[in-house]
Chain A
């Protein structure tokens, strides 16, 4: 089994580097370099630079696994998965291993960026650097946990539609909820909801950033396990 997983992982790495490793390296290096250049002279505030680092890295890394699926959906390349001596479960495991490696690279790059950007603008490092890195990694993993089973099931364009459409629907539903709740619920119920929400926030704040990071890791693990099971089931029944 492990041999098969490593074979599949190796194949996915080759797919990822199909346009040349230079391109991939540029994508990884370009973001920190651009952020450092922007921060020179203090043009980025501390909070803005953290947000930009997380946003840029999660965005760039989220596209990478999609590249691998993209190749599979092009021409007859998916048939290669039927030729190689790797069981389907091994192929899915290999792909999640690739996601894991990318998540670790993202985590490290997030740490580097958070260190490089303040230093280049003459600001001190903030103590929440590792927490931000964990949360960036968790965000990335959550996105992939949703996207990967969809990519096993649907063509790329449809997955983009589902993801963007889903975000829009959830956003609209949340906005509608906020607007409608005061009209539907009595004031006492709203006050109770507010108390619960503030209690949760206070508890999390009291627990400190380490607890938040720990919670992020737990959520990440659960999401990956559920995603892996879904992907395996979908891919097992898929025609190559």
Chain B
């Protein structure tokens, strides 16, 4: 066990009666970094976060937070965690002041001045009731609580979903400042990949309950290319190498591993990139990778749509 790891998830499995299984997920988040947890809806991101928080029982595996078992040492682990969910978890009739009075005794390291500072920064009034706050302001209140007890690991489940672009920018700044001392870490799930481009050092990508990738963000996008072409340019070589295909009336997008490009006839260029020829080869964005690695049937029932290989 590496104590320099903020979070170590090893072989974690959770089976649901519905048939969905989060299957054998393993990844590490080193201290001092931000990890983005990505995947389509229903991929298992929230399940994974709830497992880390011991909110649901796991069927196999281990989870360590700063070297401590998340179940055996639950209280010590949670004293060092800051948590933000995609929607409010406080009693709605509480005021902001009552939220502090409730949460402060929970944490030995609660800092009233820090909380107060975040309230001012976020424009939250102490007398305001939780139910009267907008979704974005409720998220900021959860964030203020998460940041006011010297948490060493922030866990954020879709924190930006209710925020406008300015608030998202502000949040990303806060997260960057938060990890600046090199001892604190952040893991956050999101659908908004622009946030990842800006803030994340690592990516963990889950799809269909399975871990698809975990590692540095840059390596993730560098590992793939998107090949785009007309309807009759999807060769057998290309189809065989495709990680995912999206067909449409005027052509296709194919996701391939960068290392496989030289095995595909007619796809050469500097670093495998050549967007001025057909089929064109372009860098893959995180959205491209998620889109093309998830099977989806066309709405008209034809073979148009995405096919994950």
* Interface residue ranges, A against B (CB under 8 Å): 3-4, 7, 10-11, 14-15, 18-19, 71, 74-77, 79-80, 82-87, 90, 237, 239-240
Residues of chain B with a CB closer than 8 A to A84's CB: 78, 106
Contact B55 A240 (CB under 8 A): yes
Known: A11-B106, A239-B56, A240-B56. 10 other contacts (CB 8 A): A4-B75, A14-B101, A80-B89, A83-B53, A83-B83, A83-B89, A85-B81, A86-B106, A87-B75, A239-B57
Contact B94 A18 (CB under 8 A): yes
Q: Which single residue of chain B is at the shortest CB-CB distance from A4?
A: B75
Cβ distance B105 to chain A, nearest Cβ, rounded Å? 5
Cβ distance B14 to chain A, nearest Cβ, rounded Å? 10
Q: Which single residue of chain B is at the shortest CB-CB distance from A85?
A: B78
Contact A75 B92 (CB under 8 A): yes
Q: Is the CB of B91 closer than 8 A to any CB of chain A? A: yes
Q: Is the CB of B93 closer than 8 A to any CB of chain A? A: yes
Q: Which single residue of chain B is at the shortest CB-CB distance from A1?
A: B75
Residues of chain B with a CB closer than 8 A to A85's CB: 74-79, 81, 106-107
13 contacts across the A-B interface (CB closer than 8 A): A7-B106, A14-B91, A14-B101, A18-B91, A74-B92, A75-B88, A75-B92, A76-B85, A82-B55, A82-B83, A83-B81, A84-B78, A85-B79
Residues of chain A with a CB closer than 8 A to B102's CB: 10-11, 14
Q: Given that A4-B75, A18-B93, A85-B106 are contacting pairs, would A237 and B57 also be in contact in the complex, using a CB cutoff of 8 Å?
A: yes
Residues of chain B with a CB closer than 8 A to A237's CB: 57
The total of chain B residues at the interface (CB under 8 A) is 29
Cβ distance B68 to chain A, nearest Cβ, rounded Å? 12
CA distance A147 to B55 in the complex (A): 23
Residues of chain A with a CB closer than 8 A to B50's CB: 82, 239-240
Residues of chain A with a CB closer than 8 A to B88's CB: 75-76
Nearest 4 interchain pairs by C-beta: A85-B78, A82-B55, A240-B55, A79-B89
Residues of chain B with a CB closer than 8 A to A82's CB: 50, 53-55, 83
Contact A87 B56 (CB under 8 A): no
Residues of chain A with a CB closer than 8 A to B54's CB: 82
Tell me which residues from 83 to 133 in chain B have a Cβ below 8 Å from any Cβ of chain A.
83, 85, 87-94, 98, 101-102, 105-107
